[in-house]
Chains A and B, each alone.
Chain A
Amino acid sequence: MAQTAQSLNHARPPEAGHSVKRHTGLMDWITTVDHKKIAILYLWAGGLFFGIGGLEAILIRIQLIKPMNTFLDAQTFNELITMHGTTMIFLGVMPVIFALMNAVIPLQIGARDVAFPFLNALGFWTFLFGGLLLNLSWIMGGAPDAGWTSYTPLSTSTYSATHGVDFYTIGLQIAGLGTLIGGINFLATIITMRAPGMSYMRMPMFAWTTFITSAIILFAFPAITVGLVLLTFDRILGANFFEVGAGGNPVLWQHIFWIFGHPEVYILILPAFGIISEVIPTFARKRLFGYSSMVFATILIAFLGFMVWAHHMFTTGLGPVANALFSVSTMLIAVPTGIKIFNWLFTMWGGQVRFTTPNLFAVGFIPTFTMGGVTGVMLASAPADFQFHDTYFVVAHFHYVIVGGLVLGLFAGLHYWWPKMFGRMLDEGLGKWTFWTFIIGFHMTFFVQHFLGLMGMQRRVFTYLPNQQFDLLNLISTIGAGLMGVGMLFFLTNIFLTSRKPADAADDPWEDGRTLEWTIPSPPPEYNFKQTPLVRGIDAFWKEKTAGHKGMTPSEPVGSIHMPSATILPFLMSVGIFIAGLGFMFSRDTFSSDALSFLFNNYIVTGLGLLITFGSMLMRSLFDDHGWHIEPEELEGR
């Protein structure tokens, strides 16, 4: 992984003349605190998990291609759906979002790095080790099988006896820690690191959505942290939170899960809104229509996102009052979302729309996401949801939102910023093949699922009886999934072929760049901006361009630039947590070897892991990082 990333990122600033020890090769990637490299790490790790999740999806669809299929057994199928959902949401799309945030946000706000480069690295490594831990379950006795929502009591040790759900709780706990750290980091970065002149209302929309997303992360993730702790304690320490016989309450899990889970949906979709709001104006050569209402709508969506969680629980039996309230509050979210859709359309109105690959994805996003949005409003109506809930209608809805919304947005963003990240333009021809196969495959897969749900097919069934009129629609759905897979292959081919081309992307490769990231080289030097730019309006670069300037006006003279030192501590801390988690998970097991039993059952492995983590923290605290400087002569290229 690191090798490929290395070859893609060959263009680096001059190396000579540093007093600091510079790592190369693998060590460079393990110790880096540079947000641009961390972005690439997030991208490859996210891509890896996205690939795993995609393969799981293909297996699921093959099993459902015909009635009473025996391709997979029931247990494996349940493990696959659980891992598909969990992997895609927590380990697939979230890291790719973080990849784009890391690659773009500091550049867009005119900063030289994020507020906390060390924490940035820590966030990545905890996410990665959490994800690896979760996926280890496949080879260590069985994956989790209680669905990505892990409803109790099915997920308690009584009904899910393997370690699968332990991998889920502890893996997600560790990965979630990384996300939380990332969220705090971006909040602080956007609050304090903006270039002079960049007021909040001059920030690019992607920076705004990142800001709001990070705030949602901060207030939503601690809830799932607690939920996972409770489930872990029930399973490993024998606690009784969800144990009905001892007074526990399984519905409590549903509340905690969805208090986190619904905001999580907005954590996923808001960054996509931001990306679309960058790509569409660029390729329409027009500023974003209704910028202020876009900001307002984003904040409103985030706010409402915290008070609609129980719409996932209409059939749990909360009573008419709760159902009515949550129905109406959910429907209200349609209003700010609608504002966004129309603002995008009217951004293009009167513009000069160019159909580059990123813009194809962005333009494809609008109708597709709207379809996911309107089914969302339909689901909000509780009495109708009694029918929709837990059927393929819901499966279709959330895939329209997450794949048709977020993933199309991510594709748009990746094609758009790829030259900035790697210095190479992705091939436009292959990009268009990717788009058409993916989006046609997508609609084939999921449009028919609306009808499957309405015709009585519930979700999470490993097979179904014939003669229910489900057969043809399922077949179409599976073929569509294959086509989406082909789209992914086009994308991977594109990446591979592009990596072999010379890195010759211009600073502003799309020619109509509007924001600060397009004012600096592709890829940017490790200090990003030689001189911090002065921002004189919204779409800072575009403003200078229309004023006839070639670049930004600097806000400071050329001077020595302070850089943070590379460090291996974030990596070590994450390794420590990984070991501790694994140790805790097996602390109640009996092993064939006495030595192993001794190590695990007395929490020695757990303790060792925590020792590594806290020891690394202590090192970080005791030894100040003075960093190093890039001198003006070096900046001028001597």
Chain B
Amino acid sequence: MMKTWQAGKRLLPLTATLGLILAGCGREDLSVLRPQGPAAESSFDLMKLAITIMIVVLLIVFSIAAYVLIRFRRKPGQREIPEQVEGNFKLEVLWTVIPLILVVVLAVPTVKAVFAAGNDHSDDKNAIKVKVTGHQYWWEFEYTDYGVKTAQDLVIPAGKDIAFELSTADVLHSFWVPSLAGKMDTNPDGTINRFSFSAPNEGVYRGKCAELCGPSHGFMEFKVKSVSDAEFEQWLASMKSPAVLPEDPELAKKFRSACLTCHAVGDQGVAMGPNLTGLGSRESVAGILLNDDTGVDGAPILDNLKTWLHDPQSVKPGNRMPDPKKDLGLTDEEIDGIAEYLAGYTLD
């Protein structure tokens, strides 16, 4: 056992260097290699340890291989028979025991981390409870303690533990925010999962669905917005404030009959499709059309809404929303009107 720890200690500087190198990889809001919270941190620490051990193993194997292949090539005219070695007990024990020690070095922290990750904070009074439901192809977030439902953008207070309850409304999905935590599947009733993570720093993080769930699996993205406590309280309050409907009464009527039969805004409508309350403040339209006025990562929200509403199938193939024009009979003007209304529906 002593040996094990010494081996572990000797790996430390290498591990640290490795961490620095890997941290250069990928976007801060997306990469596993740039963890932004304790859960992702714990996975990353294990990864660094594992990669270090594995690089040592690879170096040994590669060096022996290189040496053997250079030193023991058959030379021209070499005819004598090499000595037929049956084996070597000591060597064989050596390369059984060393891997075993390496496995123990990795297994001990693994088991510790497994049980640490098992703490789902489901009965922690200070944790924010969020019920996550996967749908083909969007995410629903319900704040059970506050009676608030939203979609696509998960707003959380920075630093607080979030206790998730994960389930699905249809097929299996997997809830994954790489820079904050590992993923967990959303299963149907009977096998519902719970887990927890927190985001100490304020910011927006990218989340993805990681289990094949149909054609638009790759487009089932979402965002995690970590905000200050005050902002979070304010957000909750404005989510609960009465719904804002289009000012034009004709358009409002259309919006009610065409959209609110599946969607909800504030206290109105049906909670079948994604909740639209405060859509103008969201990070994306339909999870995949990123709202970015600078045009670097996406387009202005109004453009995105128009792209989406004029042909949802071309944006997210296989999604369940009826086509506003073909199926719901909305005119181009009405669609644009609704897009403008939704783009302007912001939370203060």
Q: Are B183 and A387 in contact (CB under 8 A)?
A: yes
Choose among A291, A341, A342, A387 the residue that contacts B40 (Cβ–Cβ < 8 A): A387
B residues 52-100 near A (Cβ < 8 Å) are 53-54, 57-58, 61-62, 64-65, 68-69, 72-75, 78, 81-88, 91-92, 95-96, 99-100
| Residues of chain B from 176 to 224 with CB closer than 8 A to chain A in the complex | 176, 178-179, 181-185, 187-191, 193, 206, 208-218, 221
Partner of A285, one of B27, B82, B318: B82
A244-B190, A250-B187 known; A352+B74 contact, CB < 8 A: yes
**Distance A319 CA – B194 CA, assembled complex (angstroms):** 10
Asked whether, in the complex, the Cβ of B184 is within 8 Å of the Cβ of A293, the reply is no
B103 to chain A, nearest CB (A): 5
Asked whether A353 lies within 8 Å of B72 as measured between CB atoms, the reply is yes
Across-interface contacts of A285 in B (CB, < 8 A): 74, 81-82
Measured CA separation A355–B47 after assembly (Å): 37
B57 close to A374 (CB less than 8 A) = yes
B208 touches A458 (CB 8 A): yes
| B182–A353 CB distance below 8 A | no
Contact of B103 among A286, A334, A382 (CB under 8 A): A334
Q: Does A348 contact B (CB under 8 A)?
A: yes
Interface mask (B2-43 → A, CB under 8 Å = 1, otherwise 0): 000000000000000000001001110011110000001011
Q: Is B296 on the interface with A (CB-CB < 8 A)?
A: yes
- Among B142-150, B166-174, B250-258, B339-347, the one that faces the other chain is B166-174
Residue from B82, B114, B117, B188 within 8 A of A350 (CB atoms)? B82
A 446-484 binary contact with B (CB < 8 Å = 1; else 0): 000001011110111111110111000000000000000
Among A289, A315, A349, A382, the residue within 8 A (CB) of B174 is A315
Known: A324-B114, A458-B210. Is A74-B188 also a contact (CB below 8 A)?
no
Please report the total number of A residues contacting B with Cβ < 8 Å.
89
Give the one of A387, A390, A463 with max B CB within 10 A: A387
**What residues of B have a CB within 8 angstroms of the CB of A146 in the complex?**
212
Instruction: Tell me the nearest residue of chain A to B297, going by C-beta.
Output: A467
Check B182–A387 contact: CB distance below 8 A. yes
Smallest beta-carbon distance A474→chain B, Å? 13
Which residue of chain A is the closest to B183 with respect to CB atoms?
Answer: A315
**A389 interface neighbour in B100, B183, B215, Cβ under 8 Å:** B183
When each residue 104-139 of chain B gets 1 if its CB lies under 8 Å from chain A and 0 otherwise, what string results? 001100110111111000000000000000001000
Q: Which of B31, B40, B99, B172 has most chain A Cβ within 10 Å?
A: B99
B329 lies within 8 A of chain A by Cβ: no
Encode A367-392 as 1/0 by CB contact (under 8 A) with B: 10011001101101111111101110
Q: Does B244 contact A (CB under 8 A)?
A: no
**Pairs across A and B, CB under 8 Å, 22 listed:** A153-B172, A154-B212, A244-B189, A250-B191, A289-B88, A291-B87, A315-B184, A317-B184, A319-B118, A342-B64, A343-B87, A343-B92, A346-B85, A354-B73, A371-B58, A380-B110, A381-B106, A384-B43, A389-B174, A390-B210, A459-B210, A546-B81
Q: Which residues of B contact A (CB under 8 A)?
A: 22, 25-27, 30-33, 40, 42-44, 46-47, 50-51, 53-54, 57-58, 61-62, 64-65, 68-69, 72-75, 78, 81-88, 91-92, 95-96, 99-100, 102-103, 106-107, 110-111, 113-118, 136, 166, 170-172, 174, 176, 178-179, 181-185, 187-191, 193, 206, 208-218, 221, 288, 290, 296-297, 317-318
